[in-house]
Homo-oligomer: A and B are copies of this chain.
Amino acid sequence: MYPLEEGSFAPRNHWYVAAWSSEVTRKPLERIILDSVVILYRTGEGGVTALAGLCPHRGFPLAKGELVGDDIECPYHGLRFGPEGACTHIPSQDTIPAACRLRSYPIAERWQWLWIWMGDPALADEALIPDHREALLTDPHFRCAGGNYYAVPGRYVLMHDNLLDLNHVPFLHRNTFGGDGGGAIQVPEVSSEGNRVTCTFTQPAIDCPPFLSDLLGYQGPVSRRYVSQFFAPCLHVIVDIIEKLDPVTGQTEPLGSLLHIHAVTPATADSAHYFQGEGQNFSKTEPCLSEAFRSSQMVTDALDEDMSATRLIERSIRLQRGRLPEVLLKADKAAVLGRRMIQALIDAEASMQAAARDE
C-alpha cells in the first residue's frame, strides 16, 4: 500500500477547494477534480457556476467555449447550457432531449475560495465545510491573503504527507524557509477528533528567523510553536506562534502569529491542485505579510521544492510499479493519522454504496 490501499482514490462526499474566487471569471475555467472534468464560470450577476466540463452531445470540452449571457456555448455544434446545467438551445432542433444536460456541482464561496461538492448532491450540506472563523481565516485578528495556485505533479496524498510532517522544513527547504534559524526538531504532539488531525511542533528556544525580524521589529531569542490543523480531506491551517523569550527566566511574551493556509484537491490518480495563502495578526498598517510572501522569490522557490518532492516521489512510486515500501517514523504520526482518516472516509463511502445496493 502506498500511500492508500490499492484501488483507493479519494472520498467524494466532501467539500473540496475548486479554485480561488479570483480565478473564476466570465471566461470558463476547466479543472479536473476527483477525475471529473469541471468548468467554472461566473454569471452576469457574479454567481459562480460549476458544471460538468464535457458537452453531453460529443464530449467536446466546454472550457473552449464562450458565454452567451449566462449560458456556456459548446464550440462544436453550438449547444448551450444554463448555469444549472439545463440545455437551453440546440441550433439544429427545437426539442431538448431529457438526457441533454450537464451535471451541476454545488459550490460555496468561503473566504477567498470556492468549495465544490463532487459527490451525491443530496448530501451537500454546507455545514460540512470547515468553519473558516474557527480555522482563523476569517478571524478579525488576522489579515489573510490567498492566491497561490499550483498544479501538483503527483497524487494528492503526497501533499498531505508533506504538510503533516513539518520535519521536512529544515531539509527540503534548507535554502528557503529552512534557513530561518530552525534549531531542534521535535516529534509533534498529535491528536485527532472526527475529521480533524491536530499536531503541535515546538521550537522552545531559537533565534528569531531573519524574515520575521524584519516584520516583527525584533531581533533575539524566541520560542516558536506551530499548531497545525488538518480538516480532512482538504484543508490545512497552521498557526505559527512566535514569542519573545527571556533566555534567563524562560519567560515568554507574544510577538505575533502567522497563518500558513493550504488546500489540496485530488485531480487525477497522479495529480492534484494546491492552493496556498498566508495570514498574520500583527503590523496591521503595513502591507500584509502574505502579499509580500506571495511575491517573494524565496516563497516561490520553497513551494517549487514541495512540488519537486511530490513529483520525485510520484516517479519513485511509478518506478516501483506502485509498490513503494515505507518505514514510518515517530514524526510521521500525524501523516499516518491523516492517511487513515482519508482511507476511512473512502471505506465508509464504499460501505454506504454497498448497503444502498443491497436494499
For residue A316, which residue of chain B has the nearest CB? B59
Q: Are A93 and B329 in contact (CB under 8 A)?
A: yes
A68 to B317, CA, bound (A): 26
Q: Are A165 and B77 in contact (CB under 8 A)?
A: yes
Q: Please tell me which one of the listed residues B78, B313, B327 contacts residue A171 in the complex, with CB atoms under 8 A apart.
A: B78
Number of A residues contacting the other chain (C-beta, 8 Å)? 52
A37 to B320, CA, bound (A): 9
Q: Are B185 and A312 in contact (CB under 8 A)?
A: no
Q: At the interface, yes or no: A147 with Cβ under 8 Å from chain B?
A: no
A312 to B320, CA, bound (A): 26
Residues of B near A60 (CB, < 8 A) are: 309, 312-313, 316
Q: At the interface, yes or no: A61 with Cβ under 8 Å from chain B?
A: yes
Q: Are B100 and A56 in contact (CB under 8 A)?
A: no
Q: Are B91 and A185 in contact (CB under 8 A)?
A: yes
Residue of A35, A59, A73 contacting most chain B CB atoms (<10 Å): A59
Known: A171-B77, A172-B76, A324-B54. A92 touches B330 (CB 8 A): yes
Report A223 CB to chain B, min CB distance, Å. 19
Extra A-B contacts (16), CB below 8 Å, given A37-B316, A61-B315, A61-B316: A2-B59, A35-B319, A37-B319, A54-B319, A54-B320, A54-B324, A57-B328, A57-B329, A58-B326, A64-B312, A75-B171, A77-B171, A78-B171, A92-B187, A92-B329, A100-B329
For residue A169, which residue of chain B has the nearest CB? B77
Q: Are B77 and A327 in contact (CB under 8 A)?
A: no
Q: At the interface, yes or no: A74 with Cβ under 8 Å from chain B?
A: yes
Report A71 CB to chain B, min CB distance, Å. 14
Report A187 CB to chain B, min CB distance, Å. 6
A33-48 interface bits toward B, Cβ cutoff 8 Å, 1 = contact, 0 = none: 0010100000000000
Which 4 residue pairs across A and B have the least CB separation, nearest first? A92-B331, A59-B316, A78-B171, A100-B327
For the complex formed by this chain, how many copies does it contain in all? 3
Known: A37-B316, A54-B324, A57-B326. A77 touches B168 (CB 8 A): yes
Known: A59-B324, A93-B331, A327-B97. A77 touches B313 (CB 8 A): no
Report A297 CB to chain B, min CB distance, Å. 20
Q: Are B91 and A56 in contact (CB under 8 A)?
A: no
A163 to B217, CA, bound (A): 70
Q: At the interface, yes or no: A119 with Cβ under 8 Å from chain B?
A: no
Known: A64-B312, A92-B329, A99-B327. A76 touches B168 (CB 8 A): yes
A326 to B55, CA, bound (A): 9
Residues of B near A76 (CB, < 8 A) are: 168, 171-172, 309
Could you tell me which residues of chain A, from 114 to 163, have a CB within 8 Å of some CB in chain B?
A: 161
Q: At the interface, yes or no: A90 with Cβ under 8 Å from chain B?
A: yes
Q: Please tell me which one of the listed residues B61, B309, B329, B330 contacts residue A312 in the complex, with CB atoms under 8 A apart.
A: B61
Q: At the interface, yes or no: A221 with Cβ under 8 Å from chain B?
A: no
For residue A93, which residue of chain B has the nearest CB? B330
Residue of A56, A77, A90, A331 contacting most chain B CB atoms (<10 Å): A77
Q: Are A59 and B320 in contact (CB under 8 A)?
A: yes
Residues of B near A252 (CB, < 8 A) are: none
For residue A79, which residue of chain B has the nearest CB? B329
A328 to B97, CA, bound (A): 9
Residues of B near A186 (CB, < 8 A) are: 92
User: Would you mind naming 18 contact pairs between A and B with Cβ atoms under 8 Å apart?
Assistant: A58-B326, A59-B320, A60-B309, A61-B315, A64-B312, A73-B171, A74-B171, A75-B171, A76-B172, A76-B309, A77-B172, A77-B329, A91-B171, A92-B167, A92-B187, A92-B329, A92-B331, A100-B327
